[in-house]
Structure 1
């Protein structure tokens, strides 16, 4: 069941909240601005249903949010070095909105765009058009985003797109998860395992060096389950550059999964995707004059799993390509399975 509620105005456009509810009464909320996930309400091991993603207490905070809470990011997630790239004999210059670099599609990116919507067989379908030249990107791109919330507490996100000219394209979702429910504590006691045998080292500006290195014998090895406090306070130089925590791309094993456990609530999140990579971010820089679940935002209050192509892939020939051509139909899927720890 999907219900639609008007929750405010942005100029002459209505802010709409869509609530997708399954037969058990568990639900998710999505905003039409930025296709942002506002809530995912699932039970703990005692049956207590709580929100397990970070959300602003004041809806107006979403209008100018540097942290991109719950947002759909496009055209390209992550950084593009020096805000420029070459493609098919042309050089394209993008906005430098992160120092000398381009981040998350630019300052006026899809997180700030209003999506049109339709409801189709208990699926929420959101759409937008990105005109040629928007934020410097070539090609008119038509984007469709489908959310499906199942009776098994699985959130499927299906990304589709077509373009009139070749363009880099690597969208993602920027939801911060905290399985304690209602952000009771930080995520440092959460346990993480990832089928990610390789990671991407970064420069001091958090731009990929171009290397893809094995995680073995590094702080980035999550092939076996580890508590996150081992990385939020690690002394590794790469982690210090990220702000004493993880903010790094990983290359996933094909068919692999990400598993996040929270032992006190007993909740488990499994992330399954056909994307080649994931940027894991432990909210190292989350702070500001706003509240989440009644508490002031602090670092490590959530963790993001930004499934996508590798950042700066358009400038890195040994990374999996993120170029979408005019004769192609883009379709990628990421699923978030909410379960109990076994």
Structure 2
């Protein structure tokens, strides 16, 4: 049951996936076995025995787990989630055994009450340990972590960053990804991404304090792991920068900031999926000048006519001149496409066969005016 519990927690609480590997994983499994043993002893004890003697070792272990979370710079959200998952898995297996043994419904109900009361005791002990640790070294470390996050966003020298990381007892991951999210939506979020996650909500470079934004610097969720990042952000409005070597995460942050200018409706804006838009909007004045230059032949037409021809030209470029595909996209007859393209060739002449002109038109029509 302890193995099943640890497996379930690893799956359902992503920030523990790596923490449960190696020696730490065995330590956690031992703690789970101790807790289950204490519960079973509690369940079968005689009514006149002292429950505190039975519970004490498990509660002491839970207290130390809470302190450990604080030392790692994490909130209690992940650990409490782990307790809830553990309680569910344990109760599923224990209740199956109880029902199979033919216990009365009243006894099974009392058994359930004991399970969740016990989890509440463990949770309370861990919260107490977490609170006590924060009252001492935890708060000091958090100040060091906040300073490190500010230095990373400011693009400080690697030597400075390494010194601050050592002082904060923070072990640099391979990569960091900047995530911008409303400060009100950050509760419990950092805990889901692992102990190396940094979070900052004050003095963000390039952000007005009135916007109430926070940035999370998320470790090692690049490449095939990026889907986990998006999954954890569901239900939140977030801007996600690219993964960068940890000391260069400033560039990820700057790109996430730039993504605020994109006119997209997605709840989670992943900059890796909007590279074209980011490039084309990097210099909006230059884009406006390019549009005026490339679309100059349409300038003398009536606005509605110019808009229809520009729309047709854009589709013609994207579909590489395939008339039927253009007609399908624009919901018009292929003859209408032919007629419009005849007009455009009269306006542009041989320039529609010039690769440079094609490039300029493709870029110019690739962004909204």
Above 0.5 in TM-score?
A: no
TM-score norm. by structure 2 comes to: 0.20
TM-score norm. by structure 1 comes to: 0.21
Which one has more relative contact order, counting CA pairs under 8 Å at least 6 apart? Answer: 1
Between structures 1 and 2, the one with greater helix share: 2
Between structures 1 and 2, the one with greater strand share: 1
